[in-house]
Structure 1
Amino acid sequence: MTSLMRFPSAVRRDPAVEAWFDAGDLRLMAQPWFERLRAAGPDVRELMHDHCPTACVEDAAFAYVGAFTAHVNIGFFAGAALPDPAGLLQGAGKRMRHVKLRWGEPADEPALKALIAAAYADMRRRVDAGE
């Protein structure tokens, strides 16, 4: 049995994801990071999952963004396995981790970009291995 979250309904561009960003608020702070997720590879697909824009390698979820009252999360479905030398990842679950961004606080952009690249590469490897 696979440990990957698979979403066969993921598509290249999901209008529901666009509508989520159009609602504004802190979602606008999450949008550039979701664009980076979209650009991670030619096989990235997307959908809404649990009310959050979710990026997949083919149909295997690798990351999401979420907007809350006072912060934005960039989450990684296999985040516990990612290298995190900057110590950005939060969470104590078996697999998932997230980076919390707050309005007015600068993000460690190079470290977050590296996490996104690592999350994509890790999920690409997992998909190729048939996990």
Structure 2
Amino acid sequence: MSRLFRFSSARPRHPEVEAWLAGHDPMRVVARPWFERIRTLGPDVRELLHDGHPTACVEDAAFAYVDAFSAHASIGFHEGAALPDPVGLLEGGGKRMRHVKLRWGSPTNEAALRDLIGAAYVDMRGRLAAGE
């Protein structure tokens, strides 16, 4: 049995994700460009709304998500504990998942976050190729 978080209903440009991203909540506005970046990683990226937030998959295996809260937005990674994070952006102490918090008025190391997003995608493609 796979230990990956899989969603058979993931598909390109899911309408529920489109509706979430179109929301005007200020922290959704912060999260939106990061999810748009996730969408561009490859032709095998699929998406769905899971637990109320946009979740991106490689084929059907979840690798990243965004969410918006009153004080911050989060960019999360389902296998984030395994990702290289040389500048220390990732937060969380769980067995597998990690996230980056984005706050108004706080600078974000955008290059490092882009690297994390790319690494999460490559990592999940590798896991799928290995048959996890």
Shorter-chain TM-score above 0.5 = yes
Query: RMSD over aligned Cα, in angstroms?
Result: 0.6
User: How far has the Cα of 1:57 moved from its partner?
Assistant: 0.2
Q: In the alignment, which residue of structure 2 is the partner of 1:3? A: 3
1:22-101 correspondence to structure 2 within 5 Å: 22-25=22-25, 26-101=27-102
5+ residue gaps, structure 1, are none
User: How far has the Cα of 1:48 moved from its partner?
Assistant: 0.3
Residue deviations 1:67-116, cap 9 Å, x none? Answer: 00000000000000000001000000000000000012121000000000
- Give the Cα–Cα distance (whole angstroms) in 2 for the partners of residues 40 and 103 of structure 1: 26
Q: In the alignment, which residue of structure 1 is the partner of 2:129? A: 128
- Give the Cα–Cα distance (whole angstroms) in 2 for the partners of residues 81 and 127 of structure 1: 15
| Count of residues paired in the alignment | 131
- Return the letter of the residue paired with 2:32: Q
- Give the Cα–Cα distance (whole angstroms) in 2 for the partners of residues 82 and 113 of structure 1: 13
Percent of residue pairs identical: 68
- Return the letter of the residue paired with 2:17: V
Residue deviations 1:7-42, cap 9 Å, x none? Answer: 010001101001112221110110000011101111
* TM superposition score normalised by structure 2: 0.97
* TM superposition score normalised by structure 1: 0.98
Q: Report SS of the residue matched to 1:45.
A: strand
- Give the Cα–Cα distance (whole angstroms) in 1 for the partners of residues 23 and 41 of structure 2: 24
5+ residue gaps, structure 2, are none
- Give the Cα–Cα distance (whole angstroms) in 1 for the partners of residues 104 and 21 of structure 2: 16
